[in-house]
Structure 1
């Protein structure tokens, strides 16, 4: 009975750790320079301030104060050679209020942007994206590992910076 429990526990751990679909080294090395991938956000980390930490502690946030679990919520950043589409939440202090609740978060489509990809010394890439046709002066910095894990840092002129952890994947084929 003890052996069955151990086998089931091992299977559960392996299933849980493989549920995020990172890319392999060859795929990552291909899609990052080609500007053709999707960053899928799994956690958000607003800049630490007492107000946000107090609210998260009251919400019994399992990620701990300062980290918000986004798994299963479909927040992503899609990058193609001709566009950048962001659909990400925002938690933190905004310096100017938006009048339209649908414009909250980091949500935009940009057709005019700069994309810089620099290979790191120890592997991975640092990708910088500057949309030119988006209000609020966004700047996105994406640190990608060879295995596809990534962290995204979003700077906005009218809000506190926020960072996200997640992974990159190849774009899904349209059916």
Structure 2
């Protein structure tokens, strides 16, 4: 009886997850194909050592396990065929820090970048974006996108330890 209850609970959770998906499959396929979408970050997961994770767990919004809740913030990465604009926080070890604290985080606009897209058997996408023209540091962004629009982004560079973000894809807002 107990295994049957577990299976039914898992099935209910999967159905609910599909029901509350961020985008439908056709929308996700279209915006990824058009290379015009926004990744909205909900959670930041620093990939740093245990000392930094201990400090991060004491911060407001920490969820334990080193993840930081970003829900309700305006952190995102906007991707169009001719530009990548990133506005993300950074938690971790930076090897070269900017002198101006307002220049911290992962904030850049790139017009010179490579964009490589691949799709697996299940229809999930992996997008590789490598910037070439950002001021102090070039970034390698790896975006893993599910068919329902949920995504994870890993950002790495030469001057910072990698960091991962979980979130979702959003269609660009239509101009009136």
Secondary structure of the residue that 1:32 maps to in structure 2? helix
TM-score, reference length from structure 2? 0.84
Corresponding residue number in structure 1 for 2:3? none
**In the alignment, is the contact (CA less than 8 A) between 1:21 and 1:167 conserved in 2?**
no
Q: How big is the alpha-carbon RMSD for the aligned residues of Structure 1 and Structure 2?
A: 1.8
Match of 1:173 in 2: 174
| Runs (5+) with no aligned partner, structure 2 | 1-16
Of 120-129 and 159-168, deviating more is: 120-129
C-alpha contact 1:33 1:117 (8 A) present in aligned 2 = no
Structure 1's consecutive aligned runs of 4 or more residues displaced over 4 angstroms after TM superposition are none
Aligned positions, number:
158
CA spacing shift, 1:25–1:46, aligned 2, 3 Å: same
Q: What residue is the counterpart of 2:8 in the other structure?
A: none
Q: Determine the structure 2 residue equivalent to 1:113.
A: 113
SS in 1 for 2:98: coil
CA offset digits 1:31-78 (Å, max 9, x no partner) = 112110000000000014122221123336551131000000110000
Q: Map 1:133-148 to 2 at 5 A.
A: 133-134=133-134, 135-148=136-149
Question: How far is 1:119 from its partner?
Answer: 0.8
User: Please, which moves more after superposition, 113-122 or 53-62?
Assistant: 53-62
Q: Report 1:64-83 matches (<5 A).
A: 64-83=64-83
Q: What CA distance in whole angstroms lies between the structure 2 residues aligned with 1:143 and 1:108? A: 20
Kept in 1, the 8 Å contact 2:116–2:129? The answer is yes
Cα pair 1:154 1:163 within 8 Å, conserved:
yes
Cα deviation, residue 87, structure 1: 0.3
State the alpha-carbon separation in 2 of the partners of residues 89 and 21 from structure 1: 25
